[in-house]
Homo-oligomer: A and B are copies of this chain.
């Protein structure tokens, strides 16, 4: 790894009590360039701008995918990543589907640890606080030909984070727009999937909703995801979540929720969820909870589902009564080293890694 430490660090001006999530960047980033069929040296450099042309294939043809993950600081100041090997596996799955080169463990996991270690002072401490980390791969070749690019950049950038949804939200069940095609790229964290969702989400917001529950594009009869999250439904005391497929992201928070529900002995069914069954359960009072899960917010609890002009209200449950909030707490306690970690999910970020690499 090549190290160029910032000569002008901004950390002294960072106020962990008062910062803007998403556009406050830590002092460094990881970059690595792919050319002539191979990745070059991994570099840790000051965060900032690099020279790219508007003919860059990443913005012309959308060969770009990313991961979202977090580092947490416990009460003693120790720093942990959460299941980073899952993000490593998934970015390569996304890369393959987009015909991009896979990254190596050294680039991804060692790069990640080196970056989090050197900028550990940027990680805010306390409930809901974390460092949000964004590894990404994008095509950098300058060429106006719709074909697989020959040059790429792998980068890791990061921003301090508070959890960003707190209040229960209202979501609209989509009856026209969709996020993924059969045989498409819905299961990849492909850049283009997100852009495609913004306009339908804007329309839903204009109707008074916060986000969209995406349904299958052929019939709109089955739940797929919610916003940028996987979706869970609780009817009576059973939890349901759709199976992953080429259309549905294999979420790491989703996978963790399933494991935690199993551990608690909560019945968890991984099967298609029909809109009809959810609407019926709401009508007959057996629909207890619907929520989304993802790295950025962990859990987003829904207070209402919009469907064909009707607003179906959901009960607001206490922490004890809510499976969503109970499992969220179980997860956050493991992530932040407030509980045992029976699954081996936490990965400690050692101090001063760079001196040894």
Contacts and interface: CB of A to CB of B under 8 A. Distances in A.
A357 interface: no
A31 B59 contact: no
Nearest to A247: B181
A276 interface: no
A142 interface: yes
A198 B52 contact: no
Contacts of A97: 199
Contact of A52 (B49, B134, B184): B49
Given A50-B54, A55-B134, A134-B55, A202 B148 contact: yes
Contacts of A218: 182, 217-218
Interface string A270-285: 0000000000000000
A43 to B, nearest CB: 12
A59 B191 contact: yes
A123 B301 CA distance: 58
Given A64-B59, A64-B60, A193-B62, A53 B98 contact: no
A114 interface: no
Contacts of A197: 146
A55 B196 contact: no
Contact of A138 (B49, B59, B142, B181): B59
Interface in A180-213: 180-185, 190-200, 202
Copies in the complex: 2
A295 B327 CA distance: 53
Contacts of A55: 25, 134, 157
A96 B105 CA distance: 39
B146 A228 contact: yes
A48 interface: yes
A195 B192 contact: yes
Contacts of A64: 59-60, 62, 195
A292 to B, nearest CB: 13
Given A143-B23, A183-B176, A217-B182, A195 B190 contact: yes
A54 B31 contact: yes
B195 A98 contact: yes
A162 interface: no
A345 interface: no
A145 B295 CA distance: 12
Given A21-B145, A53-B48, A157-B53, A60 B198 contact: no
A174 B183 CA distance: 10
A248 to B, nearest CB: 13
B191 A193 contact: no
Interface string A58-75: 111111101000000000
Contacts of A174: 183
Contacts of A81: none
9 contacts: A23-B145, A25-B142, A50-B51, A54-B153, A99-B195, A147-B198, A177-B184, A179-B181, A185-B195
Interface of A: 21-23, 25, 29, 31, 47-55, 58-64, 66, 96-99, 132, 134, 136, 138, 141-148, 153, 155, 157, 159, 174, 176-185, 190-200, 202, 217-218, 228, 296
